Amino acid sequence: MSFTEPAGRQGSPDYRWAQGEREPWLAQAATIDAEVAQYFLVSARCGCFMQAARSLNVRSTLLRKQLAQLEQELQHSLFSFQGSALSLTREGQQLQAQLVALAHERKLPVVEQPLVRLAVAESILHDILGRDLIALLRRNASVRLEIIALDSELALRAVSADVVLWLAHGETPSPGPTFATSQPQALARLDYLPHIAKRYSRVTARPASADDLSDFMLVQWQHDRQIDSFRPWNELVEQRLAGVVQMQSYELMLEMIRCSACIGLLPAYMSRFDRGLIALPGLFDEPMQLQAWLAVNAESRDVAEVQTLVELIQHTFNERQEWFQT
Taking the alpha carbons of 147, 151, 157, 158 in that order, is the dihedral positive or negative?
Answer: negative
Q: Which residues of 169-193 are buried (b: 16+ CB within 10 A; e: fewer)?
A: eeeebeebbeeebeebbebbebbbb
54 contact partners, CB below 8 Å, separation of at least 6:
138, 139, 140, 141
Domains defined along the chain, listed by start: 24-106 (1.10.10.10), 115-324 (3.40.190.290)
Residue 195, strand partner residues: 264, 279
**How far, in Å, CA of 164 to CA of 181, rounded?**
9
Identify the pLDDT of residue 19: 39
Annotate 25-47 with DSSP letters as a single string. GGGGGGGS-HHHHHHHHHHHHHT
Chain centroid to Cα 323, Å, comes to 20
pLDDT at 180: 93
Q: What is d(CA 164, CA 220) in angstroms, rounded to the nearest whole number?
A: 25
Residues recorded for the chain = 326
Per-residue pLDDT of the chain (326 residues; tens, 9 = 90+): 555 554 444 444 444 434 345 578 888 888 888 889 888 988 888 888 888 888 888 888 999 999 999 999 999 999 887 766 788 999 989 898 888 888 776 655 556 678 999 999 999 999 999 999 988 887 776 788 999 999 888 999 999 999 999 999 988 998 899 999 999 999 999 999 999 998 877 765 788 889 889 889 999 999 999 899 999 999 999 999 899 999 999 999 999 999 877 899 999 999 888 889 999 999 999 999 999 999 999 999 899 899 999 999 999 999 999 999 86
Query: What is the C-alpha to C-alpha distance for residues 98 and 314, in angstroms, rounded to an integer?
Result: 46
Give the CB-side neighbour count of residue 276, counting CA atoms within 13 A. 11
Q: What is the SS3 assignment for 100?
A: helix
Please tell me the predicted confidence (pLDDT) of residue 174: 87
Give the contacts of 41 (CB within 8 A, at least 6 positions apart). 96, 99, 100
Pairwise CA distance, residues 67 & 71, whole Å: 6
pLDDT the model gives residue 106: 65
- For residues 279 and 192, what is the distance between their CA atoms, to the nearest angstrom? 9
